[in-house]
């Protein structure tokens, strides 16, 4: 058995070439996106970050540091002064942490893209039980696990695809395959 040298594995860089049509925000453009995948990050979570960036598209949007900095947003956008104007978390965040970040970034739009509608429902219940009323301003959405499995089924470091977001639906064409899935919206009732 070899002794551990305490060396961390490096992140893997993934390159995404996306023909993006996001009807909700009036975007129709080519996006060249590079995202570093932490050694402990699943392909599903990497794709969730890519989808979040396309879902909340605006000029200057970028990937956060990912799992290497758990307190940083997964996707963000800054204004010309450097102030964060968009703060997005993906996956399975804790409701109290999201409220803390929403409070810290009062002038920013805050959103969460969950890895399943079931996880989004659990988040809403957690927020209601804890009385986290300021989460009412946070935009919540989820994609289905089957849709994520289709996206993450190929672990190539380079991906070329077209993504169309229309209302509450996502359409993808990749490697000669077409698939789609709902973008399930959520909210915290009474908040």
pLDDT tens for 157-179 read 999 999 999 989 999 999 889 99
User: In the predicted model, is pLDDT for residue 191 greater than 70?
Assistant: no
- 149 in a structural domain: yes
Which residues, at least 6 apart from 129, have a Cβ–Cβ distance to it below 8 Å?
none
User: In the predicted model, is pLDDT for residue 1 greater than 90?
Assistant: no
For 10-50, the pLDDT digits (tens) are 888 999 999 999 998 888 999 999 988 888 889 999 999 99
- 52 in a structural domain: yes
Residue-averaged pLDDT of the chain = 90
pLDDT of residue 154: 82
- 3 in a structural domain: no
- 9 in a structural domain: no
SS3 44: helix
Say how far apart CA 12 and CA 134 lie, in whole Å: 36
- 7 in a structural domain: no
User: In the predicted model, is pLDDT for residue 68 greater than 80?
Assistant: no
**CATH, residue 72:** 3.10.640.10
- Domain of 77 in residue numbering reads as 14-186
Comparison of pLDDT for 71 and 85, the residue scoring more? 85
For 88-115, the pLDDT digits (tens) are 999 999 999 999 999 998 999 999 999 9
User: In the predicted model, is pLDDT for residue 128 greater than 70?
Assistant: yes
Which residue, chain included where needed, has tokens 């990912």?
66
User: In the predicted model, is pLDDT for residue 58 greater than 60?
Assistant: yes
CB count within 10 Å of CB 115 equals 20
Taking alpha carbons only, the member of 100, 96, 98, 63 closest to residue 78 is 63
User: In the predicted model, is pLDDT for residue 6 greater than 60?
Assistant: no
Contact between 162 and 19 under an 8 Å Cβ cutoff? The reply is yes
User: In the predicted model, is pLDDT for residue 3 greater than 70?
Assistant: no
User: In the predicted model, is pLDDT for residue 141 greater than 90?
Assistant: yes
Report residue 8's pLDDT band, with 50, 70 and 90 as the boundaries.
low
How many domains are there within the chain? Answer: 1
pLDDT of residue 9: 73
Say how far apart CA 12 and CA 28 lie, in whole Å: 28
Say how far apart CA 161 and CA 167 lie, in whole Å: 19
- 161 in a structural domain: yes
């Amino acid at each position: 058995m070899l002794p551990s040298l305490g060396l961390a594995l490096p992140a893997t860089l993934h390159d995404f070439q996306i023909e993006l049509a996001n009807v909700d925000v009036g975007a129709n453009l080519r996006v060249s996106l590079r995202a570093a995948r932490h050694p402990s990050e699943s392909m599903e979570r990497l794709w969730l970050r890519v989808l979040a960036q396309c879902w909340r598209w605006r000029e200057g949007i970028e990937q956060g540091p990912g799992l290497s900095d758990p307190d940083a947003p997964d996707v963000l956008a800054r204004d010309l002064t450097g102030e964060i104007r968009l703060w997005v978390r993906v996956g399975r965040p804790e409701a109290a942490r999201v409220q803390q970040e929403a409070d810290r970034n009062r002038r920013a739009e805050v959103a969460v893209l969950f890895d399943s509608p079931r996880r989004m429902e659990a988040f809403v219940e957690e927020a209601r039980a804890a009385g986290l009323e300021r989460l009412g301003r946070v935009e919540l959405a989820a994609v289905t696990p089957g849709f994520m499995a289709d996206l993450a089924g190929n672990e190539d470091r380079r991906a070329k695809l077209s993504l169309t977001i229309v209302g509450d639906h996502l359409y993808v064409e990749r490697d000669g395959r077409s698939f789609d899935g709902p973008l399930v919206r959520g909210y915290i009732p009474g908040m």
